[in-house]
Amino acid sequence: MGIQRLIRLRLRLTIWYVATFGLIILLLGGGLFIVISHQLSQQLDDSLRSATLELVRAARIRELEQRGGIAQGRVFDAVDELTIPDRELYLLDLKGNPIKPAEVDAWIRGAGSEAGKAGQVTAQHEVPDEKTLRLHAQRFKLGSGKQLVAVAVADQEELEDKYADLIAAFAAIAFAALILVAAGGFILVRKSTAPIERSIEFMRRFMADAAHELRTPITILRTRAEIALQQPREAANYVSVLRGVEAEAHRLGGIVDSLLVLARADTGERQIEKERLFLDDIALDAAGAAQLMARRKNVEITVDEFEEAPVEGDPALIRQLIMILLDNAVKFTDAGGQVRVRVSMHEGAPTFVVEDTGIGIKPEERSRVFQRFFRGETARSRTDGAGLGLSIASWITREHGAEITLNSQPGTGTKVTVTFPRVEAPVSS
């Protein structure tokens, strides 16, 4: 996966993120609109019902104000005297005939007649000028026993205005939310794909470095073979060529083995089988194995301090870690130099120290020595390694919860310290 494909992936993920959130907002908004519109309609119906009750109450009060009975006309004056904003009031008889006012639309008369039979009616009517009217009719009885129908009518335009305000407010909030989600989603996508981007960049650099490191021994192998085959040679010459091929093949195999270790480490395929062991025993064995290489360079390996140091770890990996550190110490120490090894319980923590009198490391290179394929300027001229040893050492220490530190000065030597976690003493039975 290239960077351009990663960018397209980020864009697609952001679009999907926004689309999903937008769908959720749409569904939520639709549900809320249905619920709120129902509530608003219910509020309008309750308002109309209250208006009819107010009309009924006013009519009864007008009746009670008359001494010894009341003329019908005085009761009906309640329609004119009662004022309810945005509500039209009517009094009808049980058959829907208008009493007050004198002229009433046919649909109101029909609703009044139905209310005269059923007791109450709520109805809706569309008028030609694109208005929608809502009505509530209520049958009631006067003190004289006469029954009438009180009607209240309202224009649903007030509901439509509320709907428009509700939709506008929700749309503005949803739009702002989508913008925030798009920005936040893009940031989250960037963060979530950042490890992939780093992996892509790391893989690209790793493959380029690996190809560079492998190219040299392969080229040497091919060149030696081509020269040897150009013309007949004596047996001694062929032996010399084969020894050179063997050396390059050995170097090539070492690079491949190191790459395989790191590849398995990156994918988690290398299982770490930890057990209780003693760091001093492994270090002593590794130091003995490194003596042969040290003698060839006339470098002395000495054991300054050895203390019993129990650790929890993988024996093979810990030995590999120590061998890497000893190998580097010997490689970068001139003939006549020394490599000192110490194992101790420093403040209760198992500690392994390798200190040499070699060429040291420049200050600007110290922070990079654990990077894969990194070799300092001086190191390149002194070893044919690929710069993978300390990367493997760093991985082994991390897997064991240990800490590796490096102190060095150019021309005076290098000191590497590995500190392992403390191990509780076994409980005796």
Yes or no: say if 359 and 329 are a contact pair by the CB < 8 Å rule. Answer: no
Judge residue 303's burial from the number of C-beta atoms within 10 Å of its C-beta, 0-12 exposed, 13-18 middle, 19 or more buried. Answer: middle
Model confidence at 420, pLDDT cuts 50, 70, 90, reads very high
Higher pLDDT, 383 or 318: 318
Q: Residue 294 burial by CB count (10 A; 0-12/13-18/19+): exposed, middle or buried? A: buried
Which of the two residues, 269 and 359, has the higher pLDDT score? Answer: 359
Helix extents (H) in 231-309: 235-267, 279-296
CA distance 415 to 429: 41
Cα-based torsion angle of the residue sequence 375, 379, 381, 385 in order, rounded to the nearest 10 degrees: -60
25 with 178: CB under 8 angstroms?
yes
Task: For tokens 């000495």, name the residue.
Answer: 302
| pTM (2 d.p.) | 0.48
Mean pLDDT of 51-72: 72
How confident is the model over 229-238, as pLDDT tens digits? 777 777 777 7
DSSP label of 366: G
Looking at per-residue confidence, does 228 or 142 come out higher? 142
CA distance linking residue 317 with residue 320, whole number of Å: 5
Pairwise CA distance, residues 136 & 50, whole Å: 10
One-character DSSP codes across 135-190: EEEEEEE-TTS-EEEEEEEEETHHHHHHHHHHHHHHHHHHHHHHHHHHHHHHHHHH
Handedness of CA 375, 377, 379, 382 (dihedral sign): positive
pLDDT at position 69 over 60: no
pLDDT in tens, 146-172: 899 999 998 877 666 766 777 788 788
- Residues 6 or more apart whose CB falls under 8 angstroms from that of 347 comprise none
Mean per-residue pLDDT, 18-45:
81
pLDDT band at 239 (very low <50, low <70, confident <90, very high): confident
* Under 8 Å between Cβ of 217 and 251: yes
The larger pLDDT score, comparing residue 129 to residue 359, is at: 359
Given a cut of 80, whether residue 66 has pLDDT beyond it is no
Task: Write down the pLDDT at residue 120.
Answer: 92
pLDDT beyond 60 at 72:
no
Name the token pair of 45: 């119906």
**350 touches 279 (CB < 8 A):** yes
In angstroms, the CA 151 to CA 370 distance is: 90
Q: Over the stretch 91-119, which tens digit does the pLDDT of each residue have?
A: 888 998 988 888 888 988 999 999 989 99
Residue of 63, 64, 82, 61 lying closest to 72 (CA atoms)? 63
> Which of these ranges, 21-35, 110-124, 158-172, 203-217, has the smallest mean pLDDT?
203-217
Render pLDDT for 56-65 as a digit per residue (tens, 0 to 9).
Answer: 888 887 777 7
Report the candidate in 52, 70, 58 with the shortest Cα–Cα distance to residue 144. 70
Report the Cα–Cα distance between both ends of the chain, in Å, rounded. 57
pLDDT of residue 427: 47
Are the C-beta atoms of residues 79 and 112 closer than 8 Å to each other? no
**Greater confidence, 270 or 314?**
314
The more confident residue out of 155 and 212 is 155
Query: With bands split at pLDDT 50, 70 and 90, how would you rate the model's confidence at 267?
Result: low
Confidence of residue 286 (pLDDT cuts 50, 70, 90): confident
Instruction: Say yes or no to pLDDT of 137 above 90.
Output: yes
Contact criterion met (CB below 8 Å) for 342 and 362: no
Q: Going from the N-terminus, what domains does the chain have, and what CATH number goes with each?
A: 3-163 (3.30.450.160), 275-419 (3.30.565.10)
